[in-house]
Chains A and B, each alone.
Chain A
Amino acid sequence: MSDKDPETPGEKAYWKENIRLLITLMAIWFAVSFGAGILFRDFLDQFMIGGFPLGFWFAQQGSIYVFIVLIFYYAWKMKQIERRYDLDD
């Protein structure tokens, strides 16, 4: 492993794209849990989704569903990026 060549331009660009994707997805992760479920809960609670106040729904249900979508989207998107740079496993 340690006698591998230094980072190639392709690897550099791949990593940059990965970081950009990570920042976007982690921002959504933060927004649905800490944002909607905690910081803006009082504001969101004036809206209802079925029998749930919206902020409460995000805190006890919605954020978890979004988490799942985020992981599978990341796995799918990364596979595409890796194929493009010919770095997939």
Chain B
Amino acid sequence: MSTQSLIYLFVALSFTLYIGIAIWSRAGSTKEFYVAGGGVNPIVNGMATAADWMSAASFISMAGLIAFMGYDGSVYLMGWTGGYVMLALLLAPYLRKFGQFTVPDFIGTRYYSKVARTVAVICLIFISFTYIAGQMRGVGIVFSRFLDVPVNLGVIIGMCIVFFYAVLGGMKGITYTQVAQYCVLIFAYMVPAFFISMMITGNPIPQLGLGSTVNDGSGMYVLQKLDSSLQAMGFSAYTDGSKSMIDVFCITAALMIGTAGLPHVIVRFFTVPKASDARKSAGWALVFIALLYTTAPAVAAFARLNFNQTVNNTAYAEAPGWFTNWEKNNLIAWVDKNDDGRMEVAKGDAFKGSPEFVAGTGKSGERLVSNEVLTDNANEVYVDKDIMVLANPEIANLPGWVIALVAAGGLAAALSTAAGLLLVISTAVSHDLLKSTFRPNISEKGELLAARVAATCAIVIAGILGIYPPGWVAQVVAFAFGLAAASLFPAIFMGIFSKSMNKEGAIAGMVTGLTFTFVYIAYFKLWNPDANIADNWLFGISPEGIGVVGMILNFAVAITVAKLTAAPPAEIGRLVDSIRVPRGAGEAHAH
């Protein structure tokens, strides 16, 4: 069977599986729709959380980013895992004990205020839509790369699939589909990683391979060899970063705290039976996430090493098969600056922007680009960082079914995250806006219908954002984490750990954190991107890391305002007491 038909087969099989699960686990009540009935086993929930969490970006792009960032890539590794410690220790068990369905539910009740709830809903919708637009685009890109389907048709197919299980099954359908998706994506990620590790170091476990010697008889360690080959080509060493220490610190912190404040992650811990299960479940989620996140840096280093060895200074005519394959897919380009027929890899960009291919081929048979060639550096090769994962199976000479598996895995990663995000958006609309704010008398059936309608609308909007991506989508992923860190996290944290925090303080804090972070990121990313250099940053902190400053401002403003205004009513003190002890979570959730 050809690789192409294997890809179709694998993708079709995985989609059938997801739809089958959706039909089997339809939601019958709002409780099932919002929190899967609150009875999900902590390990199962951990697995679903891991799939929910790991997006197309984690699966396809992260290893490539790390490959080109070296040490600086650690911000993603620590940032996107360390947040689970904060979740398990500081938020999840208490929110589970509180026993309601959503993050705005908690903020609205704890701060006895519809304004606080509405501010939380606004933060939530903004964060989630920023995130989801990227996911739908990711679905489209995987389709176009592996299935030769136009990106837009890919987005529409993805919308239909998500529509099926998110709208029918709600949280219940999503949870069980995500378990299946986790299995598909982790298998698809690990198989090529094992073989690449084996090929380069002789040790099949990538996490150990990264610390082993290279398999070429030189006796050098992988990282040593990578450092010396990069330095010889004019790059800085792989194990040294180029970002400043304060920036690495702040980006890592913003990603960690942002993770702990992301509504679609928090809501997953509302689905387990007890507060103590929420802690365990966060631990299991991190185990399942860590499997991919400790493999990614190994894949990154192997891919970079392999790239340096097989591409640099090789004649184009003798380029490895994957190189020309991905050149056909527009992800690689080569311009022969010194006209010697060899591909030079060095520091700097080969040409301006991403490649604009034109008809015809050059002297060596390479595809031509119309971009302005940059002659201030010797680099001749453009590489889209995504190929570091996508080309892995070909680099390791793996059979076609592994490539098909990677395609199915990339789709699983994108779809599972999109579904989780859609659910929190629809819940925010039907539960927090409709039921709790505007139409308190709505019936159970009416609310469930509203949730399904809201989910449908959200899918359509997400799809439109995926088909017509506003130029800023890629630029603003920093928004999601920065805003979650600066707005939702402090409000939830103080709601649990401080009895004296009142509604005035919490609202003032959220608004301050949100506004400051929004303006800072928007200024550097949207209004004045040319000014986005370290000299102009506040304390040298890039827009990616500024959420930490927003969070500190939020805390400072909230505490000051709370001191100057009336203390919260006595029943809030009792509410805080009751969420602090685990006993009774079952009762609070029963109806």
**A residues near B, CB below 8 A?**
1-4, 6-7, 11, 14-15, 18, 22, 25-26, 29, 33-34, 37-39, 41, 45, 49-53, 56-57, 59-61, 63-65, 67-68, 70-72, 74-75, 78-79, 82, 86-89
Contacts and interface: CB of A to CB of B under 8 A. Distances in A.
B315 to A, nearest CB: 32
A29 B85 contact: yes
Interface in B59-118: 66, 71, 73-74, 77-78, 81-82, 84-86, 88-90, 93, 97, 99
B3 to A, nearest CB: 32
Contacts of A11: 577, 580-581
A72 B210 CA distance: 26
Interface of B: 66, 71, 73-74, 77-78, 81-82, 84-86, 88-90, 93, 97, 99, 207-208, 210-213, 221-224, 239, 245, 248-249, 252-253, 256, 274-276, 279-280, 282-283, 286-287, 290, 293-294, 297, 571, 573-575, 577-578, 580-586, 588
B581 A14 contact: yes
Contacts of A71: 84-85, 88-89, 279, 282-283, 286
Nearest to A70: B85
A18 B90 CA distance: 10
5 contacts: A1-B588, A63-B78, A70-B89, A87-B583, A89-B275
Question: Which of B211, B293, B586 gathers most chain A CB within 10 Å?
Answer: B211
B276 A88 contact: yes
Given A38-B252, A61-B294, A89-B586, A1 B578 contact: yes
Contacts of A79: 276
Given A51-B222, A53-B239, A75 B88 contact: yes
Nearest to A21: B89
A5 to B, nearest CB: 8
A57 B212 CA distance: 13
Contacts of B578: 1, 4
Question: Which of A4, A38, A87 gathers most chain B CB within 10 Å?
Answer: A38
Contacts of A64: 77-78, 81, 286, 290, 293-294
Given A2-B574, A11-B577, A51 B81 contact: no
Contacts of B580: 11, 15, 18
Contacts of B93: 78
Contact of A67 (B74, B82, B249, B586): B82
A34 B90 CA distance: 18
A78 B279 contact: yes
Nearest to A25: B89
Contact of A38 (B73, B245, B276, B583): B245
| Interface of chain A: mostly helix, strand, loop or mixed | helix
Contacts of A37: 74, 78, 252
Contact of A1 (B207, B223, B575): B575
B78 A33 contact: yes
Given A4-B578, A6-B577, A89-B582, A60 B84 contact: no
Contacts of B81: 63-64, 67
Contacts of A74: 88-89, 279
Contact of A68 (B274, B279, B290): B290
Contacts of B82: 29, 33, 63, 67
Question: Which of B74, B210, B286 gathers most chain A CB within 10 Å?
Answer: B74
| Interface of chain B: mostly helix, strand, loop or mixed | helix
Given A4-B574, A39-B249, A59-B71, A68 B287 contact: yes
Contact of A89 (B84, B210, B573, B584): B584
A56 B293 contact: no
Nearest to A73: B283
A64 B512 CA distance: 32
A34 B207 CA distance: 21
Given A61-B297, A82-B582, A56 B588 contact: no
Contacts of B573: 6
Question: Which of A11, A56, A79 gathers most chain B CB within 10 Å?
Answer: A56
A7 B574 CA distance: 7
A14 B580 CA distance: 9
B412 to A, nearest CB: 22
A56 to B, nearest CB: 5
Question: Which of B222, B274, B578 gathers most chain A CB within 10 Å?
Answer: B578
A18 B224 CA distance: 44
A37 B74 CA distance: 8
A37 B72 CA distance: 11
A51 B212 CA distance: 6
Contacts of A72: 280, 283
Given A29-B86, A61-B297, 17 more contacts: A6-B573, A6-B574, A34-B252, A38-B248, A38-B249, A51-B211, A56-B239, A60-B73, A64-B286, A68-B287, A71-B84, A71-B282, A71-B286, A82-B276, A86-B583, A89-B276, A89-B582
B85 A67 contact: yes
Contacts of B73: 60
Given A1-B575, A15-B580, A53-B223, A60 B297 contact: yes
Given A22-B90, A39-B249, A67-B81, A87 B582 contact: yes
A59 B581 contact: no
Nearest to B211: A50
A55 B406 CA distance: 32
Nearest to A61: B294
Contacts of A14: 581
Question: Which of B77, B297, B581 gathers most chain A CB within 10 Å?
Answer: B581
A2 B98 CA distance: 11
A79 B208 CA distance: 34
B205 to A, nearest CB: 12
B387 to A, nearest CB: 21
Contacts of B276: 75, 78-79, 82, 88-89
Contacts of A89: 97, 274-276, 582-586
B577 A51 contact: no
